A and B are shown apart, each in its own frame.
Chain A
């Protein structure tokens, strides 16, 4: 079977990066087809109804990192995207009490002072230093990394740009930056804070989605990665997408359609075909062949090159690198339908703390021990959780009076030391998480109407992310910038002509950011000699 139509570009996978790339290419006048395996678009950024009238953001659950320039250029607000900032956040303590988080800097300082006066003062220094690092890195997100081994003018120019930016920091800040990129989150936070709860709260974002503990060098950068977002120009702010994370994908889909693009869902790609050293077509699982000038994969590099490409079309050395790419399942997810709003005795009545991210890990040691469990191939007995109840702010997600809770869980292994995942083990994992929450909320268990439990294995099977890794590859120094995804292939171009990569496996990595998609589209347009 062969479809008559010929496309300029086929994008494999309708995740947010695939859609972002598709939008930019369609806007430049290309005829673009997006192929999606599932009957719905969005990949991991989806809203789904799995239980009655409850809408779950069942993988990705919050929004912050989506680049504002992408949002503006693709007119996402016009296409229905609305982002509502968190109103607060908190970490509850094991023995009662809590640390509340406010978006108001002064209010937050006063709250920190409740735990340590010294830390309240250090907080100013901390936020200043972190923002400084963000300011340094942000402009790099939307650029194509250079190849440091190349003497091509573009690479040299880009190396020079990096060098100049770095040099522009001044001597003292250069050292700070070097240290920042190489430190562990625990050591980094120790340089500012003394209170365990304050350190534990800030350390949370250093381990989310990462197969590392807060004491592993390099996690200070992961912490920063989560600060890179801005909502309405508030740096580092996080928010909910109205209608769940699917709203992001739907807005991208609508923007793409408005530019004349075509999406085919329930159209799984079996293979990217290479002819005379050039990607020339894709074959769907039902045998249909669709030809195109270019093929762009939104899938992670392992899945792209090991599953839907023929090893004979790829260089051996390249394949070896792909096999060594680190992409590890370390996170689980629970989506819970609730009969009402759970009570959290540690949090004062009426506090905005429940209308943001809630945590129950109050020491770095607890987090590190949770990681030790993962290293030994079992889920954390006392996991780190990032828990939200978006229905408080967005009532469209649930029936009247009911609530939806999203619980992100770190750590949960893709492979258990004791053998394959089974339904019973999945339930036991879910129970561990539910019991962890119930220790802080006496009426939580009786409110549960339905709970969807997702292990890395489930995420891989549904979304297609290898090992269920939410970033499409670890965010460690050996896989960042010109090393992402692979040394020598950090410029969005695959090892065969006409083949590109646009997923989070590429620079600057995961989170619903859209930068890889936009950067890949720019690389394509440059190769086609079309202005971006």
Chain B
């Protein structure tokens, strides 16, 4: 309900951005009786977790296309299924595509492919059991609010002790192994464990998907464990595909928030966060409308929140510098293809085609693709995570037609030659790569689009176009995320909170940041 009168509207809480984290935070706050207004710049809710019609009649998830990180209890508590969420597919399989060879099917504990040695198959069983054990140990750390270091508060000290205890509980041998591999690169870890290049490539991809790393970058074992810990914390639901795309999930979240009492306004972009007497007190929309609230919670990325919406005048130089230095240039592009038939992937079973497909035939292949990204270039042979969502959910395309959705890496945000010039070549190299695994694909294309990180920045107001609002590197996780001084969802400005993927535990359609932030607002915010 727009209010252009002299007295601005007043709420307990204003949430900036109706992405999944903003909506989950709003639902949590409204559920506790706070009056909550969610302001979304776009015409629809969802942010990067939306469904997009990229060609007439062809719809696809604009960003992430698979759900595997959202905790089961969160889905249950918000009763999303009663708010319209349906599953097109659950527990989807993963298959690595290989040039001139049978594909490699992966599921936890079992890898099947003609030609995989017995040694590799049993090493894989041991490897995935061990990694799941580590992930389960790290999972509780993962879901909670990160503790502050050096704080006198018992809650922080207990949280730190709990981390230590979780690791210690593994037993001496496993603890040593975790402390060793935790800082290693995934390349070395996989080289230690396996012979098959295909298996190593497929397992290595999960460590660098959406990250500014190659398999040889130290710390990539931790990024892999991080992903596995998130899956473990979510209850190991496996990969699922919401019916109607990721947008359907956010629509259900919006319904849940509204049912809890929150108000959502779309097409209402926030221009500024208002500060009075050193505390946040509301927002001004781009239209000039003022909305007052003692608690402002931003699901925008930290750079947008602090540098654009708040302004450095309200921050001390050291903090502003840290925010400036958050590494948030995205490296993942999204490829959407409208097809007049199912994609002709060679030798794939019907089941495999319903799942997640990987193009990462070896660790060297991934590393070479990454090499280019370091210098602002892209590789002619990119790595990809592919789904064909219309097979599980025919409603996404006209009858008999299909959509293919792929995350393509690496696509550096700051492309040296500029995306204007490079876009077509990038699309061509992605299509050529696909053609190698699905001969004849090019002939079935009705329409295709690429969303580069630069496009995502524009489209979703995401600085750097980074899916996770900032790299998930060792120096940007836990109490260092997004920056020290704002890692517990609170900020140096009283009344201003963060709830987006820029906070612990980071991005992916997970919602933990939104849920934790709501807890902090209830604890520390003014009512």
Contact = CB atoms under 8 A, between A and B. Distances in A.
Nearest to A187: B327
B448 to A, nearest CB: 31
Contacts, number: 89
Contacts of A171: 148-151, 484
Interface string B171-184: 01101110111111
Given A190-B325, A218-B183, A487 B176 contact: yes
Interface residues of A, number: 36
Interface stretch (B56-64, B367-375, B406-414, B502-510): B367-375
Interface string B455-495: 00000000000000000011100011000100000000000
A478 B327 CA distance: 24
B479 A182 contact: no
Contacts of A183: 473-475
B219 interface: yes
Contacts of B188: 326
A174 B150 contact: yes
Interface string B407-441: 00000000000000000000000000000000000
A179 B475 contact: yes
Scoring A215, A369, A477 by chain B CB atoms within 10 A of each residue's CB, the highest score goes to: A477
Contacts of A175: 149, 479-480, 484
A488 B176 contact: yes
B179 A482 contact: yes
Interface string A338-380: 0000000000000000000000000001001100100100000
B179 A148 contact: yes
Contacts of B181: 478
B184 A182 contact: no
B115 to A, nearest CB: 24
Given A182-B474, A487-B176, A218 B150 contact: no
Contacts of B218: 212, 216-218, 476-478
A424 interface: no
Given A172-B484, A175-B479, A477-B218, A365 B148 contact: no
B183 A476 contact: yes
A191 interface: yes
A212 B151 CA distance: 35
Most buried by A among B151, B180, B484: B180
A368 B377 CA distance: 14
A167 B474 contact: no
Given A183-B475, A187-B327, A368 B374 contact: yes
Interface string A145-180: 000110000000000000000010111101100110
A324 interface: yes
B180 A487 contact: yes
A483 interface: yes
A167 B150 contact: yes
A371 B374 CA distance: 12
Contacts of B484: 171-172, 175
Interface in B152-172: 168, 172
Given A218-B219, A476-B183, 17 more contacts: A148-B179, A169-B150, A171-B148, A172-B484, A175-B479, A175-B484, A178-B479, A182-B474, A183-B475, A187-B475, A212-B218, A215-B217, A216-B217, A217-B219, A218-B183, A372-B371, A477-B182
15 contacts: A148-B175, A149-B172, A169-B150, A174-B150, A175-B149, A175-B479, A175-B484, A179-B475, A179-B480, A183-B475, A191-B321, A191-B325, A217-B473, A317-B173, A483-B179
The 8 closest A-B pairs by CB, nearest first: A477-B183, A182-B474, A487-B176, A175-B484, A171-B150, A149-B172, A179-B475, A218-B218
Interface of B: 148-151, 168, 172-173, 175-177, 179-184, 188, 192, 213, 216-219, 321, 325, 327, 367, 371, 374-375, 473-475, 479-480, 484
